[in-house]
Structure 1
Amino acid sequence: MEIAAVVVSVVALGVSGAASLRQLRLTAHANAVPVLVDLFREHRSVQLAMARHVVYARLPSRDLSAGLDGLPGSERDLVRELAWFYDNLGALVAHGVVDIEPVSGYLGGSVISVWERVEPLVQAERAKRARNNLPDPNRWQEYFENLYYLVRETPPEQARAQTDMWRLPRP
């Protein structure tokens, strides 16, 4: 009789622990959903769409060696806003607030293409900050850079295909 009670207790403890873990995951997911919805909405905003246009259409012809100071004012503001958006998104992913899979699945292509176009500007800006003795100059856009590498590890196609709810065939 005592062995049966111990077995029942152990099974009950296991079931309770599994239910608690599932509840924690559901809570974390529920907290991340509004954050992701807001981020995706911001990415679709007119301002960030204009910023991406500047990055794709105008940045390649600009001298990026002066960092942000080398860009005309309106372009500088747009590029900075876009870079900060991805940097903030990278911070949320790096600290586990949101998972990389939905970010990569939805925004991964943009993360990769924007980073590859702005990287020379970021490197120039970091060098300028180092020359001006600003603290930790290499930290500027570090979360964006890290996000780029995370997306490369979990490319958009893979992130989408790994979800249980993806039905489209891979290209």
Structure 2
Amino acid sequence: MEIAALVVSVMALGVSVLVSVRQLRLAEHTNTLPVLVDLFREHRSMRLARAREVVFEQLPEWDLAAGMEGLPEAERNLIRELAWFYDNLGALVTHGVVDIEPVSGYLGGSVISVWERMEPLVRVERAKRAQNALPDPNRWQEYFENLYHLVRTMPPPQARAQSHLWRLPHS
């Protein structure tokens, strides 16, 4: 009888632990869901869509030797806003506020392609900041760069395929 009671107690403890872990995961998702929804909405905004167009269609044509200051003002503002968006997103992922999987699964292709177009500009801008003795010049867009490497490690098709609800063939 004592063994049966012990087994029941151990099983009850196990179920309690599993339920607690599940509730903790649900609470984490409840906290991150509004953040992700807002980030995805902002990424779809007309302003950031226009900024991505500028990065892909116009940025390669410009001489980047002067960094951000060498860009036309309207386009510079769009590019800066887009870079800050990805930098902020990178900070949230890096510090565990948002998981990399949904970010990579939904925005990973954009993160990769925008970083690869903007990297020369970022390098020039960092060098300019170092010449001006600004503190920690390499920090400019560092979270964006880190996000790029995180997405390369967890590419969009892999991030989507890891979801137990993904049903489409791997792309």
> Counterpart of 2:93 in structure 1: which amino acid?
V
Kindly indicate whether the alpha-carbon contact (under 8 Å) linking 1:54 and 1:75 is maintained by their aligned counterparts in 2.
Answer: yes
Distance 1:43 1:26 in 2: 25
- 1:13 to partner: Cα distance: 2.3
Name the aligned partner's letter for residue 166 of structure 2: W
Equivalent residues in 2 for 1:1-171 (5 A)? 1-171=1-171
CA distance in 2 between partners of 1:11 and 1:60 (Å): 63
TM-score of the aligned structures, taking structure 1 as reference length: 0.94
Amino acid at match of 1:50: R
Instruction: Give aligned-pair identity as a percent.
Output: 75
Contact 1:32/1:98 (CA < 8 Å) preserved in 2?
Answer: yes
1:29, distance to aligned residue in structure 2 (A)? 0.9
What is the CA–CA distance in structure 2 between the aligned matches of 1:126 and 1:11, rounded to whole Å?
A: 58
Once the 2 structures are TM-superposed, how far is the Cα of residue 83 of structure 1 from its aligned partner? 0.3
TM-score (norm 2): 0.94
Structure 2: runs of 5 or more not aligned = none
User: Is contact 1:83-1:144 (8 Å) kept?
Assistant: yes
Note the C-alpha offset of 1:33: 1.1
Contact 1:129–1:137 under 8 Å retained in 2: yes
Q: 1:109, CA displacement in angstroms?
A: 0.6
Secondary structure of residue in 2 paired with 1:144: helix
Verify the 8 A CA contact 1:93 1:99 in the aligned structure 2. Answer: yes
| Residues 51, 78 of structure 1: 8 Å contact kept | yes
Checking the alignment, whether the CA contact within 8 Å between 1:65 and 1:120 is kept in structure 2 is no
**SS state of the match for residue 82, structure 2?**
helix
How far, CA to CA, are the matches of 1:92 and 1:149 in structure 2?
15
Q: Shift of the alpha carbon at 1:10? A: 2.9
CA offset at residue 147 of structure 1?
0.5
Q: Secondary structure at the match of 2:165?
A: coil
Tell me the SS of whatever aligns to 2:58: helix
- Distance in 2 between residues matched to 1:24 and 1:128, nearest whole Å: 46
